[in-house]
Structure 1
């Protein structure tokens, strides 16, 4: 009976490891924070740098939070996992665990508690982190693109792209109609009026295309928040996180950005009072 129980336990552990590996293989990047909550300074004891090094050692493409991200990650934020190191209380041991979350802040993997009996903090944190990373090493990670994640991350982008393509198609249709009318046109005032109206319609559609393309702001993660970049690309706003997940402070301006229903709103104070504007933000 005891032998059967041990065999079943081993099978469960192996199955769990294989499942975790399959899950993590679908993600292309890992983002490492610049600072851990249990420490006072950025990259204190070089622990964040060590985290990035260990992820890269075991096959991941690791990026520090706030650095310039690859184009595919800018467009598809769910290609990356967000890493964190959590400290567990211990009287005689330093204990750390590494946690990985997806773009929706759902935990997808947690390592064992890495431990160290070292009294020196630098050595203790380093040793505990390396011990926790033995679980990451055991995954034998290899990136395998996932259609589900690609679909999840490109829904918003696809919607915007479809809107742009639809407007472009309308523009082409109007141009085709104008060409047909021009070929069969006779010199009468009515034709002239129609032509003027047609040109106006084209300009309206062209303006709508430009407006859609220029109005999209892509959120790039930086320290304690995001920078919102347009298609140029140019940084339009820098925003800082607050205690509320859907509320941000706008750096350098007397303004906030918050989510209202499915829309993002910027609200700012002017000499004429409070004003609001809807933003098209893609996180």
Structure 2
């Protein structure tokens, strides 16, 4: 009976190791902490450096916290596992185990409990950690990308970045077209209401004092839009709402304020042509 139980236990252990190996092979990187909770300093006793070394020895690409991530890992955090070393209580032994968690914080692997009877801290920690890594060594880790839902290769990442830039350029071009159409609409409406001799196009004087980019303008709602005031408080602009959420007409001026790339832009006309200035608006 005892022999049967022994073989059953061995079988379950082998199945568990095979399952862990299959899952962990889908991960290419391991992020190693700079400091473990049971120690007082970062990389104390060079334990974190040893952890990184052992992961690389057994097939992973290890990255210390704070280092620049590889490009594919920066775009796809789930390519990496986060590691931690846990100290277990023991009267006469130093006991350490290694844990691995996925990008969602779920625990996917716990090593065997490594032990050491050495009294000197550095020697004991290093011996116990190497002992714990024996179960990671048995995994024979080899990175195997998932066939579906896998993280993109470097070429795919570059293509995605390029596509995002194209979409951004299209959005900017579309916004400029809408601004031009809005200006033409205003000019047509003005001519229809006041069929008089053409007046010279209003130009913002060169002496107009524009707020510095760093100066914060505070938006106060009005019946037709907002008034933008500085910290004095002084009204710098009165703006009217349009059909677009992030586009406003400036009262008394042939100018507009709109949002582009998460920045507020004040576009106005001068003798030299259309000019732009970035504003810092707090709505």
* Interval of TM-score (by shorter of Structure 1 and Structure 2): 0.5 to 0.7
Q: Which has the higher contact order (CA 8 A, sep 6+)?
A: 1
- Structure 1 position 4, deviation (Å): 3.0
**1:211 aligns to what?**
261
CA distance in 2, matches of 1:68, 1:90: 37
Specify the SS of the correspondent of 1:97: strand
TM (norm. structure 2) is: 0.57
**2:95 aligns to what?**
95
CA distance in 2, matches of 1:70, 1:208: 37
Q: Structure 1: any 5+ residue segments left out of the alignment?
A: 152-157, 179-189, 215-274, 277-283
* Structure with greater Cα Rg: 2
Number of residue equivalences: 189
TM (norm. structure 1) is: 0.57
Q: Is the 8 A contact 2:172 2:260 kept in 1?
A: no
**1:30 aligns to what?**
30
- Structure 1 position 63, deviation (Å): 0.6
Q: Structure 2: any 5+ residue segments left out of the alignment?
A: 153-158, 189-243, 248-256, 264-281
Alignment partner of 1:4 is 2:9: no
**1:148 aligns to what?**
149
Q: Please, what is the CA RMSD of the aligned residues?
A: 3.8
CA distance in 1, matches of 2:124, 2:86: 14
1:82-121 to structure 2, matched below 5 A, reads 82-121=82-121
CA distance in 1, matches of 2:3, 2:259: 69
Q: Is the 8 A contact 1:168 1:209 kept in 2?
A: no
Q: Is the 8 A contact 1:94 1:116 kept in 2?
A: yes
CA shift digits 1:137-191 (9 cap, x unpaired): 000000111243538xxxxxx999988766656678899x99xxxxxxxxxxx9x
CA shift digits 1:77-102 (9 cap, x unpaired): 11111111010000000000001111
CA distance in 1, matches of 2:162, 2:258: 13
